[in-house]
Amino acid sequence: MIVLRLFLQTALWLAVMALVLFLAAGNPAWGAAWGFLVEAGALGLAVGLWLAWRDPGLLARRLSLLGQGGQPPWDRRFLIGAGLGFLAWLALMGLDVERWRLSLVPPFLQGVGVLAIGFSVWLGWRAFAVNSFAAPQVRMQPGQSVAATGPYAIVRHPLYAGAIAFFIGAPLMLGSWLGLAAAPFLIGAMAARALGEERLLRAELPGYDDYAAKVRYRFVPRLW
């Protein structure tokens, strides 16, 4: 059952993130980390349950990160590397905030981080609402067509745009300047993947060239 799978995978991912954060921090009472996990888990489950009702096929694809037919080998390697890099990023923030105590982020900026994470999830939800082909893998899917409405009318990769908000919001919420300083490396890796994805779409998805000519920006309007 897809809902049970959603709960199990969400619980497993939260447990892994909690383990990394609290082992690195050496403090299981780190309040900001608990708040981060609660927000990420609650919002992620809310969107997942909405997908289970609205588009269970897309939810099933999003729960299957690896092993999808037609996925280029470079993208499989990217997803594995991205997962490990994300966990290393969390560990860096735990070390920074609780062990090394190098950062002191003002509470109002931590609040901004909470809002940024919420915005990232909202943007993902809006993308899912108009694009049933928003799988986590770079690959062509049967019957795939160009998504050009909703957030796709503003930027070509709204899920990546949401990820940028998350990469900024998470270190602010957790209170880590080092985590924020590392965010551009994560964003740069994501940008490289987007370029590879666009090469595939231009070659294999009819109408994508016309769409890209109309929607000029990939992640952030008037920037890139």
The pLDDT tens digits of the residues spanning 47-101 come to 999 999 999 999 999 998 766 678 899 999 999 999 999 999 999 999 999 999 9
Q: What is the pTM of this model?
A: 0.95
pLDDT tens-place values along the chain, 224 residues long? 899 999 999 999 999 999 999 999 999 999 999 999 999 999 999 999 999 999 999 999 999 876 667 889 999 999 999 999 999 999 999 999 999 999 999 999 999 999 999 999 999 999 999 999 999 999 999 999 999 999 999 999 999 999 999 999 999 999 999 999 999 999 999 999 999 999 999 999 999 999 999 999 999 999 99
DSSP state string for the chain: -HHHHHHHHHHHHHHHHHHHHHHHHT-TT-HHHHHHHHHHHHHHHHHHHHHHHH-HHHHHHHT--S--TT--HHHHHHHHHHHHHHHHHHHHHHIIIIII------HHHHHHHHHHHHHHHHHHHHHHHH-TT--SS----TT-----SGGGGT-S-HHHHHHHHHHHHHHHHHT-HHHHHHHHHHHHHHHHHHHHHHHHHHHHSTTHHHHHHHS--SSSTTT-
Domain boundaries, the chain: 2-214
CATH topology of domain 2-214: Four Helix Bundle (Hemerythrin (Met), subunit A) (1.20.120)
